[in-house]
């Protein structure tokens, strides 16, 4: 009898071929008691299709479920005539009180109504047909929320900050922790607010606390299922006290802004036409405020109705109303204060139109 050739095996499954001894290959011998008319022993039907398991892609990595979830795995296989499908859990037979199996012509179904953490482990499906066997392995992990951190302690309080320390939970929920969530609550409102999420260390500094408030803190552990149902709370309160602040006023040296008059913009010479009003402008800087005197040909023209003098924010102006031929000459603006005096001149020409 020739050994069967193994076909291509599906991903996640293995095919084994059992060796056949020469004694097993010999045809059955008739016993002396059997005559020529005795019936011939029945032989096994020939293998038309080698056993093979088609493991779904989602089951080629660890299959994670939460406690209480349903596990319903359908694993297709092939083999003709119908092969024998056998399930094991960590190398042992299944607990039929918790796990049920249904084997069909082309698939096998593993069903757990409410998964528990004890159902985690390595499940193996073996499909046997004659001397051939295909196997597939599935890792199942059943997880739940972690337990709370064992303790939390307020280590120090300074300024607007508080230092906390805690110890990891004894029960991580059958999976790795994703971190911790730290919350604070002031005694006035009693409301909890999250200050840190997905924090991986077992100590932290909480900042930006408000002066005059007292705070309590708590810490949750977190894994894939979520936060722990409870959280330890600090027994001591963090009192953020208002520090006594003494303000020292600095003396400022009084600056003396007094200065003698100084013209920053002088008068400009101009030519005007008889009968048209003309204005002269200049700018002066002084402290205290200076007295402005206008002169024409070195004669004071203050109070003359033909002239109007204005001073605003250091800008001095003189308006010559309807000048005539005799209004031309040298005009002077003089600024005087207790610290000194200054003056500027300009020439005004008056022309008669042709």
| CATH code where residue 121 lies | 2.60.40.10
* Residues 191-232 pLDDT 10s: 999 999 999 999 999 999 998 899 999 999 999 999 999 999
* Residue at 110 is within a domain: yes
Q: Which helix (H) or strand (E) holds 22?
A: helix 22-25
Is the same domain home to 234 and 266?
no
Is the same domain home to 127 and 163?
no
* Residue at 252 is within a domain: no
Is the same domain home to 127 and 203?
no
pTM equals 0.54
Quick one: CA dihedral 138, 144, 145, 148, positive or negative?
A: negative
Radius of gyration over every alpha carbon of the chain, rounded to an integer in angstroms: 53
Q: What is the pLDDT of the chain when averaged over all its residues?
A: 85
* Residue at 119 is within a domain: yes
* Residue at 225 is within a domain: yes
Domain C-terminal end among 178, 212, 240:
240
Q: Which of 116-130, 142-156, 243-257 bottoms out in mean pLDDT, i.e. has the lowest?
A: 243-257
Which positions ≥6 away from 319 have C-beta within 8 Å? 277, 278, 279, 307, 308, 309, 310
Domain C-terminal end among 143, 178, 207:
143
* Residue at 277 is within a domain: yes
* Residue at 215 is within a domain: yes
3-state secondary structure at position 117: helix
What range defines the domain where residue 108 resides? 49-143
Q: How many domains does the chain have?
A: 3
* pLDDT above 70 for 320: yes
Arithmetic mean of pLDDT, 27-56:
63
| Residues, the chain | 354
3-state secondary structure at position 309: strand
* pLDDT above 80 for 339: yes
pLDDT (0 to 100) of residue 41: 52
| Start-to-end CA span in the chain (Å) | 144
């Amino acid at each position: 009898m020739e050994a069967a050739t193994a076909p291509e095996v599906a991903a996640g499954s293995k095919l084994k071929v059992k060796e056949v001894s020469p004694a097993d290959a010999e045809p059955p011998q008739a016993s002396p008691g059997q005559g020529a008319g005795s019936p011939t022993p029945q032989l096994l039907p020939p293998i038309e299709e080698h056993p093979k398991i088609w493991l779904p892609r989602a089951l080629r990595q660890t299959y994670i479920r939460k406690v209480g979830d349903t596990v319903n795995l359908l694993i297709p296989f092939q083999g003709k005539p119908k092969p024998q499908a056998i399930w094991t859990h960590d190398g042992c037979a299944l607990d039929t009180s918790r796990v049920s199996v249904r084997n069909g012509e082309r698939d096998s179904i593993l069903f757990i109504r409410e998964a528990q953490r004890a159902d985690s482990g390595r499940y193996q499906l073996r499909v046997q047909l004659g001397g051939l066997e295909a196997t597939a392995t599935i890792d199942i992990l059943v997880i739940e929320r972690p337990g709370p951190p064992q303790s939390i302690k307020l280590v120090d309080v300074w300024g607007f900050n508080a230092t906390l320390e805690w110890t990891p939970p004894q029960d991580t929920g059958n999976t790795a922790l994703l971190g911790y969530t730290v919350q604070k609550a002031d005694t006035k409102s009693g409301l909890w607010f999250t200050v840190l999420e997905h924090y991986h260390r077992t100590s932290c500094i909480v900042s930006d606390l408000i002066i005059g408030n007292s705070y309590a803190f708590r810490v949750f552990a977190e894994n894939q299922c979520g936060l722990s149902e409870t959280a330890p709370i600090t027994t001591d309160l963090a009192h953020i006290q208002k520090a006594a602040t003494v303000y020292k006023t600095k003396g400022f040296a009084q600056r003396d802004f007094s200065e003698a008059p100084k013209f920053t913009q002088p008068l400009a010479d101009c030519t005007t036409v008889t009968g048209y009003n003309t204005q002269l402008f200049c700018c002066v800087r002084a402290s205290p405020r200076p007295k402005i005197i206008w002169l024409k040909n070195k004669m004071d023209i203050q109070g003359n109705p033909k002239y109007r003098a204005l001073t605003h924010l250091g800008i001095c102006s003189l308006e010559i109303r309807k000048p005539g031929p005799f209004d031309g000459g040298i005009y002077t603006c003089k600024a005087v204060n207790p610290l000194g005096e200054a003056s500027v001149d300009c020439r005004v020409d008056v022309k008669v139109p042709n």
